Amino acid sequence: MRPLLTEVVTSDDRPHTARAEFESIRSKRLLPTWKLFAGFAGLLIGFAWTWVGYVSTRDYTRSIESAQKSADNLSLAFAQQVALRVELVDRILLEIASRLGEDPAFDLGRWTARNPAAMDRVLDLVVIASGSSARASSDQEERRPSAEEGELFRILTAPDAPGLAVSRRSVDRATGRGIVRVGRALGQAGIVAAVVEADTLLSHGSRIDVGTKGIVSISAGDGTLTARLPAPRMPQGLLSETWLASSRTLSASERCSIGRSSLDGIARIVCTHEVPNAPLAATVALAMDETSADFAASRRNYYVWALFFSFGAAAFALHFFFREKRMEQFARALADSEGHLREQGIALTTTLDSVAEGIALFGPDDRLKLLNRRGYDLLAIPRTAEEEQWHLIQILEWQIAQGHFEEFPPGTPVQRLIDEQYGGLGLKHSLPVFARHRADGCVLEIRTYPSKDGGTTRTYTDVTERERTARALETAKEAAEAGNRAKTEFVATMSHEIRTPLNGVLGMASLLSDTPLDDRQRHYVGTIRRCGDALLSIVDDILDFSKLEAGRIDLEHIPFETSEVARSVSDILEPKAAEKGLAITYSEDVDFPKRSCGDPNRLRQVLWNLVGNALKFTDEGWISIEATVVKGPDGPRLRYSVSDTGIGIPEEARHRLFRQFEQTDPSVSRRFGGTGLGLAIVRRIVEAFGGELGVVSETGKGSTFWFEIPHVEPSSSDQEAAQAEDALPAGRRILVVEDNGINQEVAHALLTKLGHDVVLASGGPEALERIREGRFDLVLMDLNMPLMDGYETARAIRESAGENAEVPIVATTADASLEARERCLAAGMQGFVSKPFDIARLKAALSGGEVPPPPAATDGDAPLVDAGRLAELRDQLGAKLLAHLAEEFAAEASELPAGVAGTAEEMARSVHNLRGSAANLGLVRTVALCDDLKAVIEAGADPAEALAATLAAARESAGVLAASALAEAA
């Protein structure tokens, strides 16, 4: 019985029991109980707030005393300034009184006119002789005194009258401004008074800084306001401002107190001083909230620090409170957790023993710590291995000794097994997943996982049945693939076997048509040719579809001219369309890409089938090919549409269009022929491009077949290669060694177009003669030549002592095998270019770069002419030279029967020459038939049938070449 899993793992991965954890926490307790910490925290909080209260009171008292001193000093200074203003007015009054005493008839108006500086300080001067007569300096007319003037007269003529008196504030009716009257007695003659604007007494008060809420005011002896800054928000007139005393008084001075204004209700520190030598009082009041602003900021800081201190003390107490509670809860849960852990250990052991996989735990030292029951069954080791903590080496030694390993018999050193399966370093370096085959046939899948503690976990799964099923499925898959291959090979073989005699029939019919025949015989021969062509088209479709169905479609990814593909199809089929009185047109959008990357030959095959179908089902009207660019889900797409004015397709039959071996109606097959494979092939190719295909049709009016394929911009490497090729230096002197006349002309025309000086040699001896005559920059060497082949000629050049001994030699041949390449290198050649010739291969050979591979070999299922190759020849050679080559090829083909009738070497030479010419001109069917003819000759069979088929294809191909050249010239 294995021990129960009663350990827990802490964050530092050190195992210890729950009781040890509890004892560790209890040993860390610093004080006996949380209550003591709570009391201590309360004392700290109380002390903090007591200190805050004391400091706040102290700072408040200091701020009030400082503000009171400031207000008292400002009030005193203000009273002295008001006294100076009153003294200036009093001097004017004394001057007037003196003049009146000297001259009772003193003219007050004339004096004011002569003393304008004195009148700047007062608004008017009034002499009041009695309580009922007054005369002002402004108009010199007698009038009755105003109420304020009468009151001033009464005060100054009283027995205990003061020397100077000031009236209450009143409103000047003319200006609406507040004024006061300052008067002085004239003895028995009455009084003289000066009318002064009340606010001029405050001229110095406006310069006193009392803050935004402070007050500067002057009041009369009875408490009414004479002037105030700021002015009260109420009409001008008699006002008095009283101060509601607060609960706090200032003991430092009786002149100052704290009160709230009766006019605006703002609490202020108010200080008042009597104006010397005048019955006025000057008051300065500072707002409490402004004078104590610094104190308020300090008090807020004190409160914040006190709050932080209080929270910290409370958190300190709460920490110990919760710590104590946690320890109590842990103590109560200790017994429950140990019991629960024991139950979990039992449950884990039961679970591990019930799973279908073997599970083993190994420590960092590769010793066994745990193995479930299934693990013991699969490993077949003693039940004491876990208790004794066997090492991995002990387990492997036991298993080897018991013959458990199929590949390690008993007696094998255990170190060999460790080296092979564990890299010689132990479990940590084992393969994550591997299979172990036991001697009894059992297969174990072993997975290894690293553990956090540095050990490993292993699982063992019996996958014997799964392996047997996988082997059975693989065997069935191989059998199915073999059957599919056999079917494909059978179809290809049968197509080839059918095509060979069929080509013979067509060839003989073609030869027969060139003999004198009457009309009935010529009709019979034409019927044979039409039926043969139809049957050959069916065989080609079946073979092409069988290759697509078997997945033997490989798309190229090369740059190509998008317009050239469609134009080549249109140009080749245009003569056939002209026979039916139809016109084929091609158009493209202005933004249609000029170049793209993909497989131009497969794209051309799709267009060929669609345009061919349009020709088949259209008797009058036109056929158009349109190219546009559209936006697809994966980027821009090339969209081609082929439209016709043919018979159209019924809506109920359109869903069968792209199925193999099906047509829209049986009558269509009887009338137009065909297998129903053309559109199925088109669909497979378009799907291989990753595109889509569709049709829009109306019965009796025509159809439009369209397809879209992804547009791939040529990569920078493609562009750079093209630019590098275009940048090749011209003016090289090149020797072309070639025994085939057509190949000579093609190579000469292409190299001349690239700007090089070309010298031709028809064989090895002539090449050596040209080498001795002058220097060359490059030699293009045909390998298969009479008298002296290319290998011998290259070795002779290398062995010569002239300046051309090291000239670069590039082989040109239709044999692209590895053996041929090795022979070329052994003969001293530097490069290898496969026929047929084209601009791309010649440029690559001249630049020393990688030469593009030749076109894929055909099985005879290709069309009569490679449309792409034909378009290239028209562009590169021109219509005139192409027509000339067509004539030469026809002449060369007519000489084939004579060559075949000769010796075996002459027969092989004639077929080889014709094949080379056909390959260079893109006549793919003639190339395939030449290969068939060569095989028949090598087998010693009668070549008549194969010869006829080859001649027929060659003549028809020459006609297509000539027609294409004429169309280009037109």
124-128: average pLDDT: 85
Please state, as a whole number, how many other Cβ atoms lie within 10 Å of the Cβ of residue 752.
Answer: 12
**Which of 164-178, 659-673, 835-849, 904-918 is predicted with the least confidence, judged by mean pLDDT?**
659-673
Instruction: Give dist(CA 310, CA 362) in Å, integer.
Output: 55
Say if 343-552 and 728-847 have the same CATH topology: no
Instruction: Give dist(CA 247, CA 252) in Å, integer.
Output: 16
Residue range 198-214, pLDDT digits in tens: 888 887 777 888 888 88
* The pLDDT of residue 336 is above 80: no
The mean pLDDT of the chain is 77
258-265: average pLDDT: 80
* The pLDDT of residue 509 is above 60: yes
Q: Are strands 164-166 and 178-185 parallel, antiparallel or unpaired?
A: antiparallel
Catalogue the long-range contacts made by 689-698 (C-beta closer than 8 Å, 24 or more residues apart). Answer: 689/555, 689/598, 689/599, 689/602, 689/603, 690/634, 691/637, 693/658, 695/649, 695/654, 695/657, 697/648, 697/649, 697/651, 697/654, 698/648
345 vs 181 pLDDT, higher one: 181
Cβ atoms of 272 and 282 within 8 Å: the answer is yes
Question: Can you spell out the DSSP letters for 116-172?
Answer: HHHHTT-SEEEEEEETTEEEETTT--EEPPPHHHHHHHHHHTSTT--SEEEPPPEE-
Among 7-11, 264-268, 320-324, the range with the most confident prediction by mean pLDDT is 264-268
Cβ atoms of 739 and 762 within 8 Å: the answer is yes
- Cα 93 to chain centroid, rounded: 96
State the sign of the Cα–Cα–Cα–Cα dihedral 628, 631, 633, 634: positive
Q: Are strands 225-229 and 368-371 parallel, antiparallel or unpaired?
A: unpaired
The domains of the chain are located at: 62-198, 343-552, 553-718, 728-847, 867-967
Instruction: Give dist(CA 387, CA 374) in Å, integer.
Output: 16
Residue range 858-908, pLDDT digits in tens: 444 456 777 777 777 777 777 777 777 888 888 888 877 776 677 777 777
**Which of 158-167, 326-335, 499-508, 959-968 is predicted with the least confidence, judged by mean pLDDT?**
499-508
pLDDT band at 626 (very low <50, low <70, confident <90, very high): very high
| Helix H or strand E segment including 522 | helix 519-549
Close Cβ partners of 581 (under 8 Å, ≥ 6 residues apart): 620
119 vs 27 pLDDT, higher one: 119
Residue range 669-697, pLDDT digits in tens: 444 444 556 677 788 888 888 898 888 88
pLDDT band at 248 (very low <50, low <70, confident <90, very high): very low
The pLDDT value given to residue 19: 52
Instruction: Give dist(CA 274, CA 296) in Å, integer.
Output: 33
Residue range 214-236, pLDDT digits in tens: 888 888 877 787 888 887 764 44
The pLDDT value given to residue 682: 84
Residue 276 DSSP class: T
Instruction: Give dist(CA 128, CA 136) in Å, integer.
Output: 9
pLDDT band at 330 (very low <50, low <70, confident <90, very high): confident
The pLDDT value given to residue 127: 85
Q: How far apart are the first and last CA of the chain?
A: 101
734 vs 547 pLDDT, higher one: 734
Residue range 7-39, pLDDT digits in tens: 433 334 444 455 555 555 555 554 456 677 777
pLDDT band at 857 (very low <50, low <70, confident <90, very high): very low
* The pLDDT of residue 583 is above 80: yes
Cβ atoms of 524 and 566 within 8 Å: the answer is no
Instruction: Give dist(CA 620, CA 580) in Å, integer.
Output: 7
pLDDT band at 850 (very low <50, low <70, confident <90, very high): very low
- Choosing among 3.30.450.20, 2.60.40.2550, 3.40.640.10, 3.40.50.720, the CATH entry for 62-198 is 3.30.450.20
Close Cβ partners of 584 (under 8 Å, ≥ 6 residues apart): 570, 573, 574, 577, 611, 622, 623, 624, 625
202 vs 534 pLDDT, higher one: 202
* The pLDDT of residue 372 is above 70: yes
Residue range 706-722, pLDDT digits in tens: 999 999 888 765 555 55
CATH of region 343-552: 1.10.287.130
The pLDDT value given to residue 624: 92
Residue range 67-90, pLDDT digits in tens: 888 888 888 888 888 888 888 888
Backbone angles phi, psi at 401, to 5 degrees: -65, -35
Instruction: Give dist(CA 915, CA 899) in Å, integer.
Output: 13
Q: What is the CA radius of gyration of the chain?
A: 61
Instruction: Give dist(CA 373, CA 313) in Å, integer.
Output: 59
Residue range 911-933, pLDDT digits in tens: 888 888 888 788 888 888 888 88
pLDDT band at 428 (very low <50, low <70, confident <90, very high): low
| Helix H or strand E segment including 26 | helix 18-27
pLDDT band at 627 (very low <50, low <70, confident <90, very high): very high
Alpha-helix runs per DSSP H in 617-696: 666-672, 678-689
Catalogue the long-range contacts made by 454-457 (C-beta closer than 8 Å, 24 or more residues apart). Answer: 454/363, 454/364, 455/361, 455/362, 455/363, 455/364, 455/369, 456/361, 456/362, 456/366, 456/427, 456/428, 456/430, 457/359, 457/360, 457/361, 457/362
Percent of the chain's residues with pLDDT above 90: 3
Q: What is the largest CA-CA distance in the chain?
A: 178
Q: Are strands 443-450 and 456-462 parallel, antiparallel or unpaired?
A: antiparallel
Number of alpha carbons in the 13 Å side-chain half-sphere of residue 567: 16
User: Angle 944-969/904-921 helices, nearest 10 degrees?
Assistant: 30
Instruction: Give dist(CA 151, CA 405) in Å, integer.
Output: 139
The structure tokens listed for 356 are 């279908």
**Local structure of 525: helix, strand or coil:** helix
CATH of region 728-847: 3.40.50.2300
Residue 901 DSSP class: T
Instruction: Give dist(CA 140, CA 108) in Å, integer.
Output: 8
CATH says 553-718 is which class? alpha beta
The structure tokens listed for 89 are 């007015």
Backbone angles phi, psi at 818, to 5 degrees: -65, -35
pLDDT band at 504 (very low <50, low <70, confident <90, very high): low
Cβ atoms of 436 and 443 within 8 Å: the answer is yes
The pLDDT value given to residue 76: 87
31 vs 842 pLDDT, higher one: 842
Does the reported pTM lie above 0.75?
no
288 vs 542 pLDDT, higher one: 288
The pLDDT value given to residue 7: 41
pLDDT band at 660 (very low <50, low <70, confident <90, very high): low
